[in-house]
Amino acid sequence: MSSIFKALADPTRRQVLQMLRSGPLSAGALAGAFDVSKPTMSAHFAVLVAADLIEAEKSGRTIMYRLKMSVLEEALMVFAQAFGLQLTHETPATTAPGQTKEES
């Protein structure tokens, strides 16, 4: 769990996670969004992969990164429970599009 919080502590890594919410992106596309060197971005990616928050898939010379949302959700649930907050885990599949939770 400490590796997850270490990964989330950095604003650049949080922004990478935010960018990956919309879908997989290449390392180059992600790095291009920041004004830092490629080695620095590689280090950020390594921390996120080590924390199991993202996964990397190499295809030729391209590395695609994908968000592992379930790991992030679980970490946030544990964090909330540590402070006595009771959050519920709601899966999108439990509610049809345009339907409220009460209607399901």
Domain spanning 2-86, CATH architecture: Orthogonal Bundle (1.10)
Task: Region of 68 please: left (phi>0), alpha (psi -120 to 50) or beta.
Answer: beta
Spell out the domain ranges in the chain: 2-86
Q: What is the mean pLDDT of residues 74-90?
A: 75
pLDDT tens digit sequence for 18-68: 999 999 999 999 999 999 999 999 999 999 999 999 999 999 999 999 999
- Which is more confident, 83 or 39? 39
**C-alpha distances out from residue 41 to 8, 25, 63, 75, 96, Å:** 15, 14, 13, 23, 38
The reported pTM is 0.73
Whether 96 has a pLDDT exceeding 50, the answer reads no
Both structure tokens of 104: 């399901």
Q: How many helices (H) and strands (E) in the chain? A: 5, 3
**pLDDT value of position 87:** 66
